[in-house]
Structure 1
Amino acid sequence: MKEVSPAEGQALVQGGAVLVDVREPNEYSEIHAEGAQLLPLSELEARYAELPKDRPLVMICRSGARSARAGEFLLQNGYADVTNLAGGTLAWNEAGLPVVGGDA
């Protein structure tokens, strides 16, 4: 699966990709990348069909591990354009990109 830096991920989202946060709701409510759509990894198998197949997906979690697992699952289930955001929300925030919550 492709991996991108936070800046590259933001550029993909600005170009129409969907940013999918696979952390749990309590983590998401603490801090998340601006514009990220929450779909917890624990619900992914039941809800993945909610994600569009006609737009690129950029997967994000805390540090990149869960989002990579989620992305691999989507690729195995008919999604073609799935990218993992390396370093996750931690890296996104450290890069100074817009977040909701946290110290923002």
Structure 2
Amino acid sequence: MRETPLDVFAAELADGAFVIDVREFDEYVAGHVPGALSLPLSALDAALGELPADWPVYVICASGNRSAWAAEHLASSAVDAVSVVGGTAGWARAGRPLVHGTGVRTA
């Protein structure tokens, strides 16, 4: 399973990275990384066919625990998944912006 630190993730996000947020939807609505799609762990398997096959899928959660599990699970299904170390909490602590509200939901 691949991991990336927040500063590298921020650069990838600025370049248009594909990001899924595997927290529960109420957590996502409370604040998420701009551009992240809501895809809770419970819906991950059902959405496998909707994930890009030709570029990395960055996986974020609150702190990095759920995203690490999800990235490992996705990698076992041939998805190029990368867990974001530090998660949304680390993103916010670094002073980076969060989006509040529904944004985009995939599941």
| TM-score for the superposition, normalised by structure 1 | 0.89
Indicate if the aligned counterparts of 2:64 and 2:84 stay in contact, CA closer than 8 A: yes
Q: Match of 1:32, SS?
A: coil
Aligned to 1:17: 17
State the AA in 2 paired with 1:76.
S
Runs of 4 or more above 3 Å deviation: none
Which stretches in structure 1 are left out of the alignment for 5+ residues? none
State the distance in 2 between where 1:84 and 1:16 align: 16
Aligned to 1:94: 93
Aligned to 2:36: 36
State the AA in 2 paired with 1:47.
A
Q: By how many angstroms is 1:87 displaced? A: 1.1
Q: How does 1:1-104 map to 2 (within 5 A)?
A: 1-79=1-79, 81-101=80-100
Which stretches in structure 2 are left out of the alignment for 5+ residues? 102-107
Indicate if the aligned counterparts of 2:2 and 2:71 stay in contact, CA closer than 8 A: no
Q: By how many angstroms is 1:78 displaced? A: 1.1
Q: By how many angstroms is 1:22 displaced? A: 0.4
The structure with the largest strand share of the pair is 1
State the AA in 1 paired with 2:27.
E
Indicate if the aligned counterparts of 1:7 and 1:95 stay in contact, CA closer than 8 A: no
> How many pairs are equivalent?
101
State the distance in 2 between where 1:92 and 1:14 align: 14
Q: Match of 2:9, SS?
A: helix
State the distance in 2 between where 1:62 and 1:45 align: 20
Q: Match of 1:33, SS?
A: coil
State the distance in 1 between where 2:81 and 2:47 align: 16
Q: Match of 2:44, SS?
A: helix
